[in-house]
Amino acid sequence: MRALHRRDHRVHATGVAARVACACLAVCAAVRGDDDRVVEEAGAGPAAVQEPHFIELGANFDANLFEQSGNGWVLRGDGGRRVRGNAVLVPNGAAQQPSESAALRQARTLGEKRLARLDEACRLSEQQRQSLRLAIESDIRRFVDEVDTVRSRYEGLRINMNDQAGQKQWHQFQQDVQRCRNQLRGLFDEQSLFGRVLAGTLDEQQLAGVLKESRARRSFRWQAMVAATLVKMDDALGLSQRQHESIERALLQREPALRTDDPAAERDDAHLQMNLVFMVLSEADTGSVKKELSDRQWRALSLFMNQGKAMRSWIEQQGVLESRRP
């Protein structure tokens, strides 16, 4: 009887253990199932899929051509989110600009400003003023025709900024607008009809007055750029007054060929101007500057100069310098 009782007890204990083990396995399976579902939701849930973000490029053409400069880009669209680099989305509430008249209006404004500065510098006669205005109008018409041709490629073009095809079209849009910006900057340069007529319309005394005014404007702009950048150098390098003046002297002695009629000149681009100063300093005679600085200061200044030198191509693309003659 005792043997039978012991056997029944062992069977009962085994059954209890089996039931406990099954319960544990069920709990573990449930836990694993929950964990698996969390992993799947994290990898394949709605957050992992980018929603479409549609932008109409044609409606943004004039804003980027006439309101932005340097490396700035703006898109009028939904949300007000930053897109890439300097591209910023502006709410749809912004008023749309007329697509065709904007180029004509902006170019004429620049032409009138140019004519007014000429008149102030050398006192144009009425006949000279009329001849130059006709040349300006001809250059404007040519520019507007070219801009309208480029703009027409984007009229009604609606792209999704969150897919590869949309990004490719956006980059092409940037390149086309940048080319139009460069045309706008050089609208009345020496190669334009205005530039050719100007050389044959003014007498020697008037030309001397124009050249003097242009040089004064260029020097003023360069001095302002150098002063603003030296403030940052003072903070970064801890310059003494003597060191400050040594760097300033090297920079002012190597004044670059800044555009004096750049339509974007009134919109300051601190990043562009600072790197332009670094670039010019990298090409200047800095032997006397190096003698004034400590080894630590010179190493830091060399980094700035190398940065400016490496960005020469980008700086030239921004149109702040006169085009190199072939």
Give the torsion sign (CA, 66, 55, 318, 298).
positive
Mean pLDDT comparison of 146-150, 152-156, 244-248, highest-scoring range: 244-248
pLDDT for res 222: 95
Q: Of all residues in the chain, what percent carry a pLDDT higher than 70?
A: 72
pLDDT at position 312 over 70: yes
User: Residue type for 97, please?
Assistant: Q
CB burial class (10 A; 0-12, 13-18, 19+) of residue 15? exposed
Comparing 320 with 292, which gets the higher pLDDT? 292
pLDDT for res 14: 47
The whole-angstrom separation of Cα 58 and Cα 48 is: 30
Comparing 13 with 210, which gets the higher pLDDT? 210
Comparing 20 with 307, which gets the higher pLDDT? 307
- Most distant CA atoms of the chain, gap in Å: 138
Collapsing DSSP states into helix, strand and coil, what is residue 201?
Answer: helix
Q: How far is CA 30 from CA 39, 72, 122, in A?
A: 14, 55, 90
pLDDT for res 77: 61
Mean pLDDT of the chain: 79
